[in-house]
Amino acid sequence: MGGQRNDEGLSSGPPEGVRMKANGFYEEVIVAGFGGQGIILAGRLLAQTAMKAGKEVTYMPAYGPEMRGGTANSMVVIADEPIASPLVSKPNSLIGMNEASVNKFAPRVKGGGLVIMNSSLIDSEPEVEETTDVLAVPADEIAVELGSQKCANMVAMGAYLQKRGLFGADSAAACLADVLAARYHKTLPMNSEALRRGAEFAKTHS
């Protein structure tokens, strides 16, 4: 063979139907929304919860130009084995907090995947594979009921945890103090409650 070098990179994608992993789970999550919605915090909470549960985990925030123009996202990979790439191109799960991020990432979610979308801010139906499970959570409305729109991220995370079943909302709540700066610790009860309410919503709306 004369050489495999391809200056454009390989454009062909992976062969269809190749399973990501034969053994164990390999969960790739994108949390996305706009700046100020606590996207980074939600991703870090998930990573911290996974770490405390003894899983392999990586967390990667968007730090590049994609952060500008109002969208923020963080990528979390949780597995039973050492993690290859912390970058997620085709997630198993998406937590989409605004319309732009759902439009961008929902089409990339793998078949059989999960989309949690914040229906308080999103009217349209996401474009997903037929086998993907979509749960519309009125996260902002539930958050406002709890005292602040700011905990909508935790409502959505609670719904994700309930649907995915990897970790309980309680285990995530127990990690809140690790990821929230001390000056926000007065919001711990509200955020814990938001996680619980999100989980409860997912349980009753599946």
Tokens of 105: 């990432």
- Cβ distance to another protein smaller for residue 65 or 165: 65
Cβ distance to another protein smaller for residue 76 or 102: 76
Rule CB under 8 A: say whether 58 interacts with another protein. yes
Give the Cβ contact number of residue 71 at 10 Å: 20
Near another protein in 4-33, by CB under 8 A: 4-7, 9-10, 12-15, 18, 20-22
For 35-107, strand residue ranges (E) read: 56-61, 71-79, 93-96
Draw the binding track, 135-164, toward another protein (x: CB under 8 A; -: no contact).
------------------------------
Using DSSP, how many helices (H) and how many strands (E) does the chain show?
A: 6, 6
The site that binds another protein (CB under 8 A) totals a number of residues, namely 36
Q: Does 85 bind another protein (CB under 8 A)?
A: yes
Torsions phi, psi for 108 (to 5 deg): -90, -10
Q: Does 63 bind another protein (CB under 8 A)?
A: yes
CB of 148 closer than 8 Å to CB of 186: no
For another protein, the closer CB: 63 or 204:
63
Write down how long the chain is. 206
Element (H, E) at 32: strand 26-34
By C-beta, is 149 or 171 nearer to another protein? Answer: 171
| Whole-angstrom distance, CA of residue 173 vs CA of residue 140 | 19
Residues engaged in binding another protein (CB under 8 A) = 1, 3-7, 9-10, 12-15, 18, 20-22, 44, 47, 51, 56-61, 63-65, 81-87, 89
